[in-house]
Structure 1
Amino acid sequence: MPPEPTSQASRCFAFERDLIGNWRCIPLCLRRKLDLAGIKLRLSHWLTLDQAQRQELVLWPDGPDDLRAMAVHIRALTRPMAEGEARDLPPVFAEPWQGAAAPPEPVLQAAAALGKPLSLAEWHGLGELERFALCKLARPGHDHHNLPAALLEVLD
């Protein structure tokens, strides 16, 4: 049974609205599950999947057993693809978005630059998916075009 649409397993942010339905990019809720499952699904893999397969992955639950099953499923889906099978990565552990005592410096700097300083209490009040989104979008070397919208959405 798929999770409720508002759960962190399948919740898409308002700033991702243009992705919903066509799934031309991997939404952050699935990126989080991929990190937790320890599997690298490339955009080329994602775009080779049909619409129903993409939707299934977005709606996939995020419990530990579910994530292991999702990794097996993704490897099976991608095995015959031209890019080859999705590869394994070490599952994430103790990342800042997984409950760190304080937000990472790039997130603090981005929030301050937007005039929305992020307090420790606000950071702890965010859900794991929200912290994940801010950390991913604020990381060095990432295209930050969605970061202001993400900050406004999660901090308002």
Structure 2
Amino acid sequence: MKPVAVVPTFFEFESDFVDSLRCIPMIVRYKLDTCGIKLKLPEWVKLTVVEKARLAEQPCYNSAEIAQYRQDLIDLVQRRCHHTVSELGEVNPTWAYLGEVPDEVQLKAQEWECTPLTLQQWLQLDVLQRFALVKLSRSGHEGANFPRAMREFLLLSD
């Protein structure tokens, strides 16, 4: 599936770490999936704030941009961490499928006692919002941010 250009955005649910960029924001996670690199938090924290901000802003959508983003990440990790980056492997971009709301998102909504998303709601989200909900639905991510994201994306009332 071809990557979709997204406006570099930091979500409100990321506000507790965006100023310092101590965690990897969704916009960077999206670009990591796009270029096929797994950046670990211990690697991220060794980057400067300027480098982190550049990774958030740097385009990563057409083949040349993806190749450049990937090479920049390889160089950054080598320079700051003194080892080779990890490859992400095969990515299943369920956030890009528009025929149904991914099961993992519906299961996470049920777990948080949120109303399941309708297909119409899913289609009204932009690609980065859909990406965020998918990522927040997976194990290993901060689960408390899922209902915060749902509220921010106007999918959940207070």
Distance in 2, matches of 1:141 and 1:82, equals: 23
Which position in structure 1 is the counterpart of 2:19?
21
Q: Share of identical aligned residues, percent?
A: 32
Cα-Cα RMSD: 2.0
Deviation per residue, 1:37-56 (Å, 9 max, x gap)? 11111111111111111110
Q: Gaps spanning 5+ residues in structure 1: where?
A: 1-6
Distance 1:59 1:100, change over 3 A: same
Question: Which of 9, 27, 37 matches 1:11?
Answer: 9
Cα pair distance change 1:74/1:125, threshold 3 Å: same
Q: Gapped runs of 5+ residues in structure 2? A: none
**1:42-101: CA deviations, max 9, x gaps?**
111111111111110011113222121011011111113446121233463x52101241
* 1:78 aligned onto 2:68: no
Instruction: Name 2:103's counterpart in structure 1.
Output: 105
1:4-153 to 2 correspondences below 5 Å: 8-64=6-62, 65-82=64-81, 84-90=83-89, 92=91, 95-112=93-110, 113-153=112-152
Report the count of equivalent residues.
149
Inter-partner Cα distance in structure 2 for 1:104 and 1:41:
24
116 and 71 in structure 1: CA distance in 2 versus 1, 3 angstrom threshold: same
- Quote the offset at 1:17 in angstroms: 0.9
Q: Is the 8 A contact 1:29 1:58 kept in 2?
A: yes
